[in-house]
Amino acid sequence: MTVDTAAYLAGFRRRLDLPALVDVHTHFMPDQVMRKVWAYFDQAGPLTGRPWPITYRDDEQVRLKTLRDFGVRAFTSLVYPHKPRMAAWLNEWTAEFAARTPDCLHTATFYPEPEAPEYVRAAIAGGARVFKVHIQVGAFSPLDPLLDPVWAILAESGVPVLIHCGSGPAPGEFTGPVPIGELLRRFPGLRLIIAHMGTPEYTEFLDLAESHPLLRLDTTMVWTDFSESDAPFPPGERERLRRFGDRILFGSDFPNIPYPYAEAVRALERLDLGDDWLRKVCHDNAVALFDLR
Residue with smaller CB distance to Zn ion, 163 or 281: 163
Q: How many residues bind Zn ion (CB under 5 A)?
A: 1
- Among residue numbers 234 through 263, which ones bind Zn ion (CB under 5 A)? 253
Binding mask 194-233 for Zn ion (x = CB under 5 A): ----------------------------------------
Q: Is residue 243 classed as helix, strand or coil in its secondary structure?
A: helix
Binding mask 79-118 for Zn ion (x = CB under 5 A): ----------------------------------------
Least distance (Å) from Zn ion to the CB of residue 285?
Answer: 18
CA 28 to chain centre: 12
Question: CA 121, 179, 186, 105: dihedral to nearest 10 degrees?
Answer: 30
- DSSP class of residue 166 equals S
H helices within the chain, ranges in order? 2-16, 31-42, 60-69, 87-100, 116-125, 135-138, 148-157, 177-186, 202-211, 225-228, 238-243, 262-270, 275-279, 285-289
Residue with smaller CB distance to Zn ion, 141 or 220: 220
d(CA 232, CA 247): 21
Residue with smaller CB distance to Zn ion, 82 or 242: 82
Residue with smaller CB distance to Zn ion, 18 or 267: 267
Q: What share of the chain is helix, strand, coil (3-state, %, to 5)?
A: 45, 10, 40
Binding mask 120-159 for Zn ion (x = CB under 5 A): ----------------------------------------
**Full strand arrangement of the beta sheet holding 107-109:** 107-109, 130-134, 161-164, 192-194, 216-218, 248-249
Least distance (Å) from Zn ion to the CB of residue 72?
Answer: 15
The continuous run of DSSP H or E covering 231 comes out as none
Residue with smaller CB distance to Zn ion, 163 or 190: 163
Residue with smaller CB distance to Zn ion, 23 or 253: 253
Q: Are 106 and 98 in contact (CB under 8 A)?
A: yes
Least distance (Å) from Zn ion to the CB of residue 273?
Answer: 23
Least distance (Å) from Zn ion to the CB of residue 158?
Answer: 23
The count of other CB atoms within 10 Å of the CB of residue 133 is 24
Least distance (Å) from Zn ion to the CB of residue 119?
Answer: 22
Least distance (Å) from Zn ion to the CB of residue 25?
Answer: 6
Least distance (Å) from Zn ion to the CB of residue 26?
Answer: 8
Residue with smaller CB distance to Zn ion, 253 or 284: 253
Q: Is residue 84 classed as helix, strand or coil in its secondary structure?
A: coil
Q: Which residue has the CB atom at the shortest distance from Zn ion?
A: 253
Contact residues toward Zn ion (CB under 5 A) are 253
